[in-house]
């Protein structure tokens, strides 16, 4: 029974979880002075820069004055106190009543977001769920994932495009008959007037990206690790932030999701390993709510990117409202697809939770956490490497499970036409084309159908997924679908149509939508991940 | 799996036997997996069944690059996630130039992989003369286990986390050794030979960097050290091959003179295509590859290298 999932009794366990987190963090610290100094340094700097943290700044400065005269015990006490504050701040809330409403009635609830002050009781009156049930398609390895939720902790690692993702994904889990997952959401989402209601009540825990000091990061990691050990299915967006380009993530650090490896090793040491299964997933939108803001940020000069965007479309009520109503009018506007589950070491997993290597040989996952003497150990250096390799496996899964919809396909076909016409693949030239270049509607329809056929060939090789809406459609229908989806969603139309001639209305958005295909070799690709910077320059 | 200091070496060639000897010298319990079990090195047990290798935690793969994938496929089913696999194979695999560790990883459940490289010679290793080698692995555990199994007063083992850089260094050294052999055979003076050697190392660093390695790795034992060791061996196959080409012999004649199979010959054209596709300047590799394939006259080749644009 999925209602047995530990998250349903999270609020009772919360105190105990926080206690365990604080205890573990405190045990691991052997130099409280340096930990405290690091926190003071970072916090004083942050509050000085923000100019708004008067009280907090005073508190940190007074602590800084006391530190030199503190005994070791006093320092440890101070660190523990700080860890406890952070742990409570991180710990979320789970309200089963809100969960039940929000998931079973998610589309109308999204609709109800038009009035953000709507209470739970008034949401109930807006319910007319049946007609909307098919708007979000959930597909992929659902049956296997369902079995795995009974055998261990499932860690979902989906692609990330929109602030709607966590809600959409939560709804997809419910639709798939899967228990809810807890997730770490940026603290800014808790202040977003539209989303905060859900964030506060659906088991999200707060991740404050402004806090840069080591102790906070340790608390976060430990919190996430403890939840996974205790069987709380978890959702992480491993890309860290929403994809600015519209492209599928091609390099992942996994961040907090990486604590799944440590959670497995820790429980294995105690003799009862909690199996951990990573489930890569893709979330595909016919149109993305925040596309305009995101692509604009992507195209900023390097160094000017904003890590946290607080004032985008997802915080403007009327934008969300019209977006949602648009989304709900069409089938297949949102597709959540579950990829093949993986163990923490990147191996495939079967329905019984067994791990298999690339050649199909069964392998014992605990063997990976044994050291040179055969002892099961937690080893941060080793686990970081496993996590890095897992990130590569997740990226490959993202590519294989990318679902291509009409907007992606038509944008790619249009961009390919423009590249051929202008004779360049330089993105900055292409972004300036605007109205100058036109493409005949018939040509684009033809190209769209041809590209779709090419994608179907790739799909047979397991390299991509073709959305059902375009699989059997004519070129005319595909282009029509894309133009209708864009129309009214964005400030300016992505492609303008006049007397059978098409021109680019919004080049950055065209770029944004075609980027969904950038990693597959059939569209303009300026998103190739740069390699990690070397310690020195490249030799000449 | 038995205790910490047990090592299995798969491959009974010169290099495999030398590695087995070196590990036995530090007191490891060493098993040599080879088709021939007679006359193993001192204190080394020999066996023919590849499954036996699984009894050691550290497994070394010491076979020619052409067999690396197939031997790994045979070995794979016997290993699990607790094994550490380290190879001493020089080369890159396929047209997409995958490293040996990448190719081997697909064949087995092992994740903790590493490679050996550097200027150590099999003969010196076998008889215990002082020498130095490099172990590369992203996993600290693997680096430590190899240092523990092989390190001694006679063998210094330097660790690096740059596995890709190390593997590319070993493969590129083989190719660059042909160029050095060519320079020697062409009768260039010591100044120009030194110049070509230095530029060859820089070029290799640039190529390895494009493949994801650190260029510092190429400028150290695994690259520069390995290449100087090659240049110092007059009978080394790649040197002989390069020299024969410079003397105007055909590729077939040069191959015959070199004796052993020189894997660098097959690798050079692939490397040239790869650097071209990746837009990495590799004038020495391309010139040598072209001269091998097209039999370009010697003066022409030196001229090509002398007029290559200098990158600032």
Residues of B within 8 A of A385 (CB-CB) are 111, 138-139
CB atoms < 10 A from the CB of A131, how many? 10
* Among the partner residues B106, B112, B206, nearest to A539 by beta-carbon distance: B206
What is the reported pLDDT for A111?
41
3-class SS at A203? coil
Tens of pLDDT, residues B95-127:
899 999 999 999 999 999 999 999 999 999 999
Pull the structure tokens for residue B33. 């997996």
Q: Work out the percent of chain A whose per-residue pLDDT is above 90.
A: 50
Residues of B within 8 A of A363 (CB-CB) are 80-81, 109
A368 touches chain B (CB under 8 A): yes
Residues of A within 8 A of B145 (CB-CB) are 372
Mutate to test the interface with B, among A366, A368, A374, A539 (most CBs of B within 10 A): A539
Q: Give all domains of chain B, ordered by start, each with its CATH number.
A: 6-161 (3.40.50.720), 164-307 (1.10.1040.10)
Which of A49-58, A140-149, A254-263 has maximum average pLDDT? A140-149
Spell out the residues 6+ positions from residue A182 whose beta carbon is closer than 8 angstroms to its own. A7, A10, A92, A94, A203, A204, A205, A227, A232, A233, A234, A235
How far apart, in whole angstroms, are the C-alpha atoms of residue A170 and residue B70?
45
Spell out the residues 6+ positions from residue B180 whose beta carbon is closer than 8 angstroms to its own. B193, B196, B197, B200, B227, B230, B231, B239, B242
Q: How many CB pairs under 8 A join A and B?
A: 82
Query: Quick one: A234 exposed, middle or buried, by C-beta within 10 A (0-12, 13-18, 19+)?
Result: buried
Q: Is the CB of residue A413 less than 8 Å from the CB of residue A362?
A: no
| B138·A385 Cβ contact <8 A | yes
How far apart, in whole angstroms, are the C-alpha atoms of residue A277 and residue A264?
10
Residues of A within 8 A of B1 (CB-CB) are 374
CB atoms < 10 A from the CB of A496, how many? 16
Instruction: List the single range of A11-25, A66-80, A109-123, A456-470 with lowest mean pLDDT.
Output: A109-123
Tens of pLDDT, residues B7-34:
999 999 999 999 999 999 999 999 999 9
A56 phi and psi angles, rounded to 5 deg: -65, -40
Residue with tokens 């893709």: A282
How far apart, in whole angstroms, are the C-alpha atoms of residue A306 and residue A25?
31
Q: Is the CB of residue A202 less than 8 Å from the CB of residue A180?
A: yes
What's the maximum distance between 2 C-alpha atoms anywhere in chain A? 81
Residues of A within 8 A of B111 (CB-CB) are 345-346, 368, 385-386, 389
Residues of B within 8 A of A376 (CB-CB) are none
Question: Å from A537 to nearest chain B CA?
Answer: 9
Q: Give all domains of chain A, ordered by start, each with its CATH number.
A: 96-400 (no CATH), 403-520 (1.10.10)
Residues of B within 8 A of A539 (CB-CB) are 202, 205-206, 209, 215
Pull the structure tokens for residue A224. 């996430």
* Among the partner residues B84, B107, B140, nearest to A359 by beta-carbon distance: B107
What is the reported pLDDT for A166?
80
Q: Is the pLDDT of residue A304 over 70?
A: no
For residue A255, how far is the Cα from the chain centroid? 11
What is the reported pLDDT for A89?
84
How far apart, in whole angstroms, are the C-alpha atoms of residue B137 and residue B143?
6
Residues of A within 8 A of B206 (CB-CB) are 538-540
Residues of B within 8 A of A361 (CB-CB) are 76-77, 109
3-class SS at A302? coil
For residue A228, how far is the Cα from the chain centroid? 18
Q: Work out the percent of chain B whose per-residue pLDDT is above 70.
A: 96
Residue A152, CB half-sphere, CA atoms under 13 Å: how many?
32
A381 touches chain B (CB under 8 A): yes
Per-residue CA distances from B304 to A228, B274, B286 (Å): 62, 20, 10
Q: Is the pLDDT of residue A47 over 60?
A: yes
* Among the partner residues B80, B109, B141, nearest to A372 by beta-carbon distance: B141
What is the reported pLDDT for A132?
42
Question: Å from A115 to nearest chain B CA?
Answer: 51
CB atoms < 10 A from the CB of A535, how many? 8
* Among the partner residues A363, A367, A540, nearest to B312 by beta-carbon distance: A540
B→A interface, C-beta within 8 Å: 1, 3-4, 57-58, 73, 76-77, 80-82, 84, 105-109, 111-112, 138-141, 144-145, 202, 205-206, 209, 212, 214-216, 311-312
A303 touches chain B (CB under 8 A): no
Question: Å from A123 to nearest chain B CA?
Answer: 51
| A374·B202 Cβ contact <8 A | no
For chain B, the C-alpha Rg in angstroms (whole number) is 19
What is the reported pLDDT for A200?
60
B156 phi and psi angles, rounded to 5 deg: -90, 130
Question: Å from A374 to nearest chain B CA?
Answer: 7
More confident residue, B78 or A67: B78
3-class SS at A492? coil
Q: In the beta sheet, which residues pair with residue A502?
A: A439, A497
For residues A162-178, average pLDDT: 83
Q: Is the CB of residue A159 less than 8 Å from the CB of residue A327?
A: no
| B141·A371 Cβ contact <8 A | yes
Spell out the residues 6+ positions from residue B246 whose beta carbon is closer than 8 angstroms to its own. B181, B182, B183, B184, B185, B186, B187, B298
Tens of pLDDT, residues A95-139:
666 666 665 555 544 544 433 333 333 333 333 343 345 567 899
How far apart, in whole angstroms, are the C-alpha atoms of residue A200 and residue B238?
68
Spell out the residues 6+ positions from residue A445 whose beta carbon is closer than 8 angstroms to its own. A474, A475, A476, A478, A479
Strand A438-440 and strand A501-504: the pairing is: antiparallel
| A372·B312 Cβ contact <8 A | no
How far apart, in whole angstroms, are the C-alpha atoms of residue B289 and residue B270?
9
Tens of pLDDT, residues A332-386:
688 999 999 999 999 999 999 999 999 999 999 999 999 999 999 999 999 999 9
Instruction: List the single range of A317-321, A337-341, A442-446, B16-20 with lowest mean pLDDT.
Output: A317-321
Question: Å from B207 to nearest chain A CA?
Answer: 10
For residues B199-228, average pLDDT: 95
CB atoms < 10 A from the CB of A24, how many? 18
| A531·B212 Cβ contact <8 A | yes
What is the reported pLDDT for B307?
79
3-class SS at A376? strand
| A538·B108 Cβ contact <8 A | no
How far apart, in whole angstroms, are the C-alpha atoms of residue A146 and residue A491?
41
Instruction: List the single range of A267-281, A313-327, B23-37, B53-67 with lowest mean pLDDT.
Output: A313-327
What is the reported pLDDT for A126?
38
How far apart, in whole angstroms, are the C-alpha atoms of residue B171 and residue B218?
11
Q: In the beta sheet, which residues pair with residue A370?
A: A376
B34 phi and psi angles, rounded to 5 deg: -155, 160
Question: Å from A221 to nearest chain B CA?
Answer: 21
Pull the structure tokens for residue A111. 């609709």
DSSP state of A202: B
3-class SS at A68? helix
* Among the partner residues B139, B141, B216, nearest to A536 by beta-carbon distance: B216
Residues of A within 8 A of B109 (CB-CB) are 347, 357, 361, 363, 367
Tens of pLDDT, residues B232-273:
998 899 999 999 988 888 888 988 998 877 788 889 999 999
| B82·A358 Cβ contact <8 A | no
For residues A266-287, average pLDDT: 95
- CA torsion, points A263, A265, A267, A269, in degrees to nearest 10? -150
Average pLDDT, chain B: 92
Q: Is the CB of residue B179 less than 8 Å from the CB of residue B240?
A: no
CA torsion sign for A134, A136, A142, A148 is negative
Q: Is the CB of residue B62 less than 8 Å from the CB of residue B19?
A: yes
What is the reported pLDDT for A199?
62
* 3-state secondary structure string across chain B: CCCCCEEEEECCCHHHHHHHHHHHHCCCEEEEECCCCCCCCCCEEEECCHHHHHHCCEEEECCCHHHHHHHHHHHHHHCCCCCEEEECCCCEECCCCEEHHHHHHCCCCCCEEEEEECCCCHHHHHHCCCEEEEEECCCHHHHHHHHHHHCCCCEEEEEECCHHHHHHHHHHHHHHHHHHHHHHHCCCCHHHHHHHHHHHHHHHHHHHHHCCCCHHHHCCHHHHHHHHHHHCCCCCHHHHHHHHHHCCCCHHHHHHHHCCCCHHHHHHHHHHHHHHHCCCCCHHHHHHHHHHHHCCCHHHHHHHHHHCCCCC
Question: Å from A76 to nearest chain B CA?
Answer: 31
Mutate to test the interface with B, among A264, A367, A533, A535 (most CBs of B within 10 A): A367
pLDDT band at residue A23 using 50, 70 and 90 as cut-offs: very high
For residues A244-262, average pLDDT: 88
Mutate to test the interface with A, among B59, B78, B82 (most CBs of A within 10 A): B82
| B141·A536 Cβ contact <8 A | no
How far apart, in whole angstroms, are the C-alpha atoms of residue B229 and residue B119?
6
How far apart, in whole angstroms, are the C-alpha atoms of residue B175 and residue B195?
17
A179 phi and psi angles, rounded to 5 deg: -65, 155
For residues B31-48, average pLDDT: 93
A371 touches chain B (CB under 8 A): yes
Mutate to test the interface with A, among B7, B58, B80 (most CBs of A within 10 A): B80
């Amino acid at each position: 029974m999925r209602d047995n999932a530990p998250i349903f009794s999270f609020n009772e366990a919360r105190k105990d979880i926080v206690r365990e987190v604080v205890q573990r963090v405190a045990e691991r610290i052997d130099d409280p002075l340096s930990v405290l100094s690091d926190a003071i340094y970072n916090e004083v700097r942050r509050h000085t820069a923000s100019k708004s943290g008067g009280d907090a700044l005073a508190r940190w400065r007074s602590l800084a004055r006391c530190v030199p005269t503190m005994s070791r015990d006093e320092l440890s006490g101070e660190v523990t106190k700080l860890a406890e504050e952070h742990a409570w701040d991180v710990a979320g809330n789970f309200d089963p009543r809100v969960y039940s409403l929000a998931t079973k009635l998610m589309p109308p609830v999204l609709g109800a977001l038009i009035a953000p002050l709507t209470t739970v009781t008034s949401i109930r009156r807006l319910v007319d769920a049946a007609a909307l049930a098919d708007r979000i398609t959930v597909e992929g390895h659902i049956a296997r994932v369902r079995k795995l939720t009974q055998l261990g902790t499932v860690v979902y690692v989906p692609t990330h495009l929109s602030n709607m993702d966590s809600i959409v994904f939560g709804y997809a889990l419910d639709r798939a008959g899967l228990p809810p997952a807890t997730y770490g959401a940026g603290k800014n989402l808790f202040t977003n007037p539209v989303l905060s209601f859900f964030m506060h009540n659906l088991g999200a825990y707060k991740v404050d990206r402004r806090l840069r000091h080591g102790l906070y990061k340790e608390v976060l990691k430990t919190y996430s690790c403890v939840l996974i050990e205790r069987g709380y299915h978890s959702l992480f967006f491993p890309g860290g932030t929403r994809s600015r380009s519209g492209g599928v993530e091609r390099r992942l650090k996994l961040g907090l999701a990486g604590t799944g490896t440590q959670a497995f090793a820790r429980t294995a040491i105690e003799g009862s390993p909690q199996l951990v299964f990573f489930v890569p997933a893709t979330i595909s939108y016919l149109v993305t709510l925040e596309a305009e803001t995101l692509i604009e940020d992507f195209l900023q000069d390097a160094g000017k990117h904003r890590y946290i965007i607080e004032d985008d479309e997802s915080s403007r009520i009327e934008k969300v409202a019209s977006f949602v109503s648009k989304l709900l009018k069409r089938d297949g506007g949102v597709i959540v697809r579950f990829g093949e589950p993986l163990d923490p070491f990147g191996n495939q997993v079967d329905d019984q939770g067994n791990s298999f290597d690339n050649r199909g040989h069964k392998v014992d996952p605990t063997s990976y956490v044994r050291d040179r003497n055969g002892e099961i150990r937690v080893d941060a250096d080793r686990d970081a490497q496993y996590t890095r390799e897992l990130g590569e496996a997740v990226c490959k899964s993202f590519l294989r499970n990318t679902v291509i919809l009409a907007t992606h396909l038509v944008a790619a076909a249009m961009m390919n036409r423009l590249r051929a016409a202008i004779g360049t693949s330089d993105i900055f030239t292409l972004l300036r084309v605007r109205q100058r270049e036109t493409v005949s509607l018939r040509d684009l329809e033809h190209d769209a159908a041809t590209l779709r056929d090419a994608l179907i060939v790739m799909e047979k090789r397991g390299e991509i997924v073709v959305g059902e809406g375009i699989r059997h459609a004519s070129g005319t229908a595909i282009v029509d679908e894309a133009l209708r989806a864009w129309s009214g969603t964005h400030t300016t139309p992505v492609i303008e149509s006049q007397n059978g001639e098409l021109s680019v209305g919004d080049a950055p958005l065209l770029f944004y939508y075609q980027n969904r295909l950038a990693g597959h070799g059939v569209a303009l690709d300026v998103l190739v991940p740069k390699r990690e910077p070397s310690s020195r320059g490249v030799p000449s | 799996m038995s205790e910490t200091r047990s090592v299995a070496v798969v491959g009974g060639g010169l290099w495999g036997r030398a590695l087995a000897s070196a590990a036995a010298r530090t007191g490891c319990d060493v098993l040599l997996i080879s088709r021939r079990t007679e006359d193993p090195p001192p204190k080394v047990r020999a066996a023919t069944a590849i499954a036996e290798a699984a009894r050691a935690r550290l497994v070394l793969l010491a076979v020619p690059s052409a067999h690396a994938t197939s031997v790994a496929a045979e070995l794979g089913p016997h290993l699990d996630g607790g094994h550490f696999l380290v190879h001493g194979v020089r080369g890159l695999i396929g047209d997409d130039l995958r490293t040996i560790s990448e190719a081997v990883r697909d064949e087995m459940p092992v994740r903790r992989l590493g490679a050996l490289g550097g200027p150590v010679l099999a003969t010196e290793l076998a008889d215990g003369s002082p020498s130095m080698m490099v172990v590369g692995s992203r996993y600290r555990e693997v680096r430590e286990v190899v240092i523990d199994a092989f390190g001694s007063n006679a063998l210094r083992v330097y660790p690096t986390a740059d596995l890709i850089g190390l593997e590319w260094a070993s493969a590129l050294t083989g190719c660059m050794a042909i160029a050095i052999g060519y320079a020697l055979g062409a009768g260039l003076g010591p100044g120009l030979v030194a110049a070509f050697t230095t530029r060859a190392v820089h070029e290799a660093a640039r190529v390895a960097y494009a493949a994801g390695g650190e260029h510092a790795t190429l400028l150290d034992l695994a690259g520069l050290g390995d290449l100087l060791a090659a240049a110092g061996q007059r009978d080394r196959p790649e040197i002989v091959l390069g020299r024969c080409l410079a003397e105007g012999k055909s590729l077939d004649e040069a191959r015959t003179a070199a004796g052993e199979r020189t894997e660098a010959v097959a690798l050079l054209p692939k490397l040239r295509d790869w650097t071209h596709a990746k837009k990495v300047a590799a004038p020495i590799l391309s010139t040598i590859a072209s001269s091998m394939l097209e039999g370009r006259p010697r003066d022409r080749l030196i001229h090509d290298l002398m007029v290559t644009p200098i990158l600032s």
